[in-house]
Amino acid sequence: MLNPRIALLIGLFSISIFPVLVKWAPVSGITSAFYRMFFGVLFLLPVVIVKRKFTWPDKSLGIPIILCGIIFATDIAVWNLSIQYSNATQATLLTNLAPVWVGIGSFFFLNDKPKFNFWIGTLVAVAGMVVLIGPQAFLDMKLDKGFALAVLSGMLYASYMLVSKSILNRLNIMSFMTISMTISSIYLFVICLVFDEPVWHFTPVVWGVFVIQGLICQLIGWLAINYAVKKMDAMRVSLSLLSQAVVTGLLAWAFIDEQITRQMIIGGIVILAGIAITFRKSTIALQRKRRPTQP
């Protein structure tokens, strides 16, 4: 069995490639999202069939799984729309408030309540996001449609983490992803048709990028992340995914020659420090529990 922290790192690296691939293939973000889901399902189905990993979920899980597929797809679509109505900087910052919403949702709906160190780590990590993106961008935010859509995107992402956690406690990952990704693919295809987004007549290079997105960014990435969610608490996983901005920046620097500024380095260090706080505190608490009592 894979260590859930290693799985989280694999998933984090896999999904961090997505923005770089999008820049290599400049097509509609919603179209990219659709083919990411579509090819992910195509690669997953043979594995599920050959290894007989698919089991029909209990009837009580039907609606939650459908909701997960719709929520995940809607999150991607809403995030892209928020960029159109505002800018990528504002949308990225507000969407990455998801750990805050996960913490609030866990407090009200889950038995695993967020600890004090989670809120401290979240505060530090979000501060790191502000530094990475730039304090001026934070101060220039406008309470407009783009702002509302970006906040909604963060809430949708948090909702997906919480709902999927409850499902994965009762269903294997392969079955969950097969159903939810199929629903997301159908849903995103309908959105493409409604908004008249292109869905064919692409160059071979673009099709190749779509295949890589489906195999690495979606299938491998979210198999690993869902495994981590199943084995860990959703709050810590959602907070750890904030480091996606750091990994994406490094990949963009390595492959498409984007510059890394001192501000980005400082922001990245602060984000990682905030994430480390939650893990460090938990490790100390666990060591104390395991320490034998002195006579």
pLDDT for the residue numbered 207? 94
> pLDDT class for 127, splitting at 50, 70, 90?
confident
- Residue 269: CB atoms within 10 Å: 14
Q: Scan for tokens 């090819």, then name that residue.
A: 39
Question: CA–CA separation, 210 vs 203, rounded Å?
Answer: 11
The mean pLDDT value of the chain amounts to 79
Q: Which residue has the higher pLDDT, 173 or 266?
A: 173
Q: Which of 65, 66, 89, 64 is nearest to 79 (CA)?
A: 89
pLDDT for the residue numbered 288? 46
Q: What is the reported pTM?
A: 0.74
Q: Which residue has the higher pLDDT, 30 or 182?
A: 182
Lowest mean pLDDT segment, chosen from 5-9, 118-122, 221-225, 247-251? 247-251
Average pLDDT of the residues in 243-269: 72
Give percent of the chain with pLDDT exceeding 90: 24
Average pLDDT of the residues in 104-122: 72
Question: CA–CA separation, 184 vs 200, rounded Å?
Answer: 18
Q: Which residue has the higher pLDDT, 117 or 14?
A: 14
pLDDT for the residue numbered 184? 95
Average pLDDT of the residues in 125-140: 70
Residue 234 pLDDT greater than 80, yes or no: no
The two tokens of residue 258 are 């984007």
> pLDDT class for 186, splitting at 50, 70, 90?
very high
- pLDDT tens track for 27-77: 877 888 899 999 999 999 998 988 888 888 988 999 999 999 999 888 877
Assess contact for 171 and 233: CB atoms under 8 A: no
